[in-house]
Amino acid sequence: MRFIGLILLLAGLAVAFGERALGYPFGEFYIGRYHAVSSARNFNPILVTMREDYAPLGVSLEVKPRAGAYDAGGESVLTLHVSDPDGQVTDQTLRISPKTAYMRDDGTMLLENSLTVDPLKSGVYTFQLGDGGRDDLGISEIVLTLKGHAGAFSLESRPVGYALIVAGCVFYLIGGRRRRGKGKQAEDDRPSKTSSIGYRQPSEPEPQKRQPDITWGRDGDRD
């Protein structure tokens, strides 16, 4: 059991502090959230430094349309221009419709669409939105969210690591107590050295003295 506790303890340390020690996230992680369009309908270029090992890169758009656009139907089309560190530009067309709407915790309805950029190059990427020729929804605000290792298993590594550390310590301590308990019981079963004080342990029986042979007859008594 102490071995299991040691394994859990080491695993917990790796999960809780491995990302910080290595400087490399294990699962999906947020890179940042950026306002891609202002209320004046001006598209802002977004410059973000990327690393090659961030791939695949998840790009999602949260769109806030005008009031009543959810029930009016229709859709809006946007174009996302992605420029890599070498200056190569890739255009992606995104269609935004009420079918992708979801409710936020504060009660605000947002529309969402997403895409994946893979592979990546190390350097500065530029993301800029543009009109796609159709805007039935009257988009007033767009937030662009970038995630590294898109689609990978995402977990809160530190709480999980702390839980493994606690479990490992418990198993390790319980295993140590059980081991000491067995050793103490074995010692209790041994005879005490002081238990024989004042008590004479029996030794081998002394040989009986031989009785003189009984003689009968006239010569039996020579006194």
pLDDT tens, position by position, 56-111: 999 988 887 777 666 666 788 889 999 999 999 999 988 888 777 776 676 566 77
| Residue 49 φ then ψ, to 5° | -80, 125
Query: Within a 10 A sphere around the Cβ of 8, how many other Cβ atoms?
Result: 20
Three-class secondary structure of residue 123 per DSSP: strand
Identify the three-state secondary structure at position 46: strand
pTM of this structure: 0.59
Burial of 90 (0-12, 13-18, 19+ CB in 10 A): exposed
Q: Tell me which residue of 185, 205, 203, 160 sits closest to 12, measured CA to CA.
A: 160
CA distance 51 to 65: 33
What pLDDT, in 10s, does the model give residues 196-218?
555 555 555 566 666 666 555 55
Return the number of other C-beta atoms located less than 10 Å from residue 139's C-beta: 21
Domain residue ranges of the chain, discontinuous segments joined by +: 1-27+155-188, 28-153
Domain 28-153: state its class: mainly beta
Percent pLDDT > 90 in the chain is: 18
